[in-house]
Structure 1
Amino acid sequence: MTDQPIPLHPPSSTAQQVQWLTISEDQAGQRVDNFLMARLKGVPKARVYNILRKGEVRVNKGRIKPDYRLQPGDLVRIPPVRVAQRTPPGKPSDQLLRLLENSILFENEGLLVINKPPGLAVHGGSGVSLGLIEALRLMRPEASYLELVHRLDRDTSGCIMVAKKRSTLRHLQAALRNKGVSGVRKVYQALVLGQWPARRHRVDVPLLKLELNSGKERIVKVHPEGKPSLTEFRVLRAYGDCTLVEARPITGRTHQIRVHAQYAGHSLAGDEKYGDDDANDRLRKVGVKRLFLHATELGFYLPGESELTVVSASLSDDLAAALVKLS
């Protein structure tokens, strides 16, 4: 591979004009610093706080602090800020667009629930030019608002929520933080190595997230200084030297199910980060060619509704076929 020439000039950028924005009901409630960072994509965080500190950002013609929460009807002045031009996301193939259109499990005026295909990152970045959210925005160019409510690992398939309104995003993210009966119920199916004890129903140990390679890689481990983390497990079926389990993460930590299963001595099949390489090689021969983890069900309360909405996605074809071979 030949060396690439080092650019002699910084990337091109564009200078915006002064913007005057009136805050809608749906935009209200968020902090002004978060509002600005969402509007000024490509502007360093330090620069956003700098223009706030200098009073260049005004709300109703007055200076405000970064933690000011916007109100309906507020008039926000955003000064001209030079924004680095970003590489546009790759164009999704017609095949991917058809797949995503056929993967919609639920839709109303505020929410989409998608059966995410395996291998598709939820968003671009870190070498990924096009993720689920970028593809959905290109698939729905008329949509004024599409944001991920939560995330799934790239190799994890199954149910994922995408908000079509900011009020829906706020409602569901608050529900995700609520561990009570009004919270979001998440149910996964996972194939773990070995025979999971039928009597073991919970793994309740703290998890600590670490960043390696200057933040390019994340790894999670059980550690007393980590955040409290609880996953409930239930055996569904034994397959020789593997067990199909149901996993319900009560808390929502990064890689929680994977690390809790590893801690219990039963790593997930196909897990290249926390799993067993020799076992993964054996399972690859029967079709387990990626992380065997599928978000099979979501239960949630929509804004203003008292009845639980439940959305489910059958085990993806590749994982279901692997189970047949293991039988």
Structure 2
Amino acid sequence: MNDTTQQQVRWLTIDADYADQRIDNFLLAQLKGVPKSLVYRILRKGEVRVNKKRAKPDYRLQAGDEVRIPPVRVAERNPLPSAKLDQVQALNDQVLYEDDLLMVLNKPAGLAVHGGSGLQFGLIESLRALRPEAKHLELVHRLDRETSGCILVSKRRSALRSLHEQLRNKTMDKRYLALVRGHWQAHVKLIAAPLLKNTLKSGERVVRVDVAGKPSETRFRVVRKFANSTLVEASPITGRTHQIRVHALHAGHPIACDDKYGDPVFDGLMRELGLNRLFLHAQRLSFRHPQSGKEITVEAPLDDVLDRTLQQLGAAS
């Protein structure tokens, strides 16, 4: 089966949800699978028209604008999973907060936030199958596949803009729980170490501390000490890939059962206690509601595996 489809010329009328979005970002979302360079080429050549006129990439759409999108070849999207699948249905029980503009879920460990890289579907595709009436579901931020806990999803473009602005301005507060090797020293409260992302030949992404990397900061606080490990609260100030995991390693305290950055000996001891996943959990999320401005705080309980591990460590200490 051909993995691309030839589209026809499309005329779209912009509704209020997309008002004030840049035309280039709008096209990148509409033409999923089309290389960025091609999107900018059709803009440059004037093949994209707004109200029958050429538009520069930074043009901000207005409600009522008529946008012409020329025919381009786009990669076919993965079909949405069946809403009847047990794994998809189970997400209904993980909704921690929901209203007309957004939802917060307790993402299970092992579920990617979106499909791709050999995965048929992820969290966002599952939610779109469960909520077909919500036409604008988008991830506000991401969690690593093996990380569990609070993840924020917007239902409207206006909400997404507001929440992204809070992320940019660092007014959204995210708190994680991590179990790390050894005794974390209470005076180590901030790790500020630049992070550089590398992609290996296998396609695997690995991040390391490097002066050539992007500035990255994480706050840490000791929650509880055990015989050979510490439960810490981690608050990322910046939002880099694998940030908490690499900063914990940089401090000399890798996170339990981290298959990329962990300590095999420590991980072996944790597995004997029944820990079979990365001990990193997005426990709490605080943000301003995009409409009311009210402060919303949502907490996600630990899953049984993490909870049981802490109980066993406590009993042994």
**Shared fold, TM over 0.5:** yes
- The amino acid that maps onto 2:178 is A
Alignment pair present for 1:289 and 2:276: yes
Checking the alignment, whether the CA contact within 8 Å between 2:183 and 2:230 is kept in structure 1 is yes
Counterpart of 1:11 (choices 2, 18, 30) is 2
Q: Secondary structure in 1 aligned to 2:43?
A: helix
Distance 1:298 1:189 in 2: 12
- The amino acid that maps onto 1:47 is L
Distance 1:167 1:156, change over 3 A: same
TM-fit CA distance, 1:92: 5.8
Residues 70-85 of structure 1 aligned to structure 2 (within 5 Å): 70-85=61-76
> What are the superposed Cα offsets for residues 211-231 of structure 1, whole Å, 9 maximum, x if unpaired?
2227x2211111122222111
Count of residues in correspondence between the two structures: 314
Checking the alignment, whether the CA contact within 8 Å between 1:287 and 1:319 is kept in structure 2 is no
Q: Give ranges in structure 1 of 5+ residues lacking alignment.
A: 1-9
Checking the alignment, whether the CA contact within 8 Å between 1:92 and 1:130 is kept in structure 2 is no
Identity %: 58
TM-fit CA distance, 1:293: 0.3
- The amino acid that maps onto 1:128 is L
TM-fit CA distance, 1:15: 2.4
Distance 1:16 1:253 in 2: 36
Residue 302 of structure 1 aligns with which residue? 289
- The amino acid that maps onto 1:324 is Q
Residue 121 of structure 1 aligns with which residue? 112
Alignment pair present for 1:213 and 2:201: yes
Residue 259 of structure 1 aligns with which residue? 246
TM-fit CA distance, 1:94: 3.2
Distance 1:175 1:118, change over 3 A: same
Q: Give ranges in structure 2 of 5+ residues lacking alignment.
A: none
TM-fit CA distance, 1:168: 0.6
TM-fit CA distance, 1:97: 2.8
Counterpart of 2:172 (choices 161, 178, 184) is 184
> What are the superposed Cα offsets for residues 88-111 of structure 1, whole Å, 9 maximum, x if unpaired?
244466322332101100111110
Counterpart of 1:162 (choices 153, 177, 186) is 153
Which segments of structure 1 move beyond 4 Å, counting only runs of 4 or more? none
Q: Secondary structure in 2 aligned to 1:251?
A: coil
> Normalised by the size of structure 1, how large is the TM-score?
0.91
Residue 61 of structure 1 aligns with which residue? 52
> What are the superposed Cα offsets for residues 35-57 of structure 1, whole Å, 9 maximum, x if unpaired?
11211222232322222222111
Alignment pair present for 1:105 and 2:96: yes
> Normalised by the size of structure 2, how large is the TM-score?
0.94
Distance 2:192 2:37 in 1: 38
Alignment pair present for 1:249 and 2:236: yes
Checking the alignment, whether the CA contact within 8 Å between 2:80 and 2:129 is kept in structure 1 is no
Distance 1:12 1:117, change over 3 A: closer
* Range with greater deviation from structure 2 (185-194 or 75-84): 75-84
Distance 1:231 1:13, change over 3 A: closer
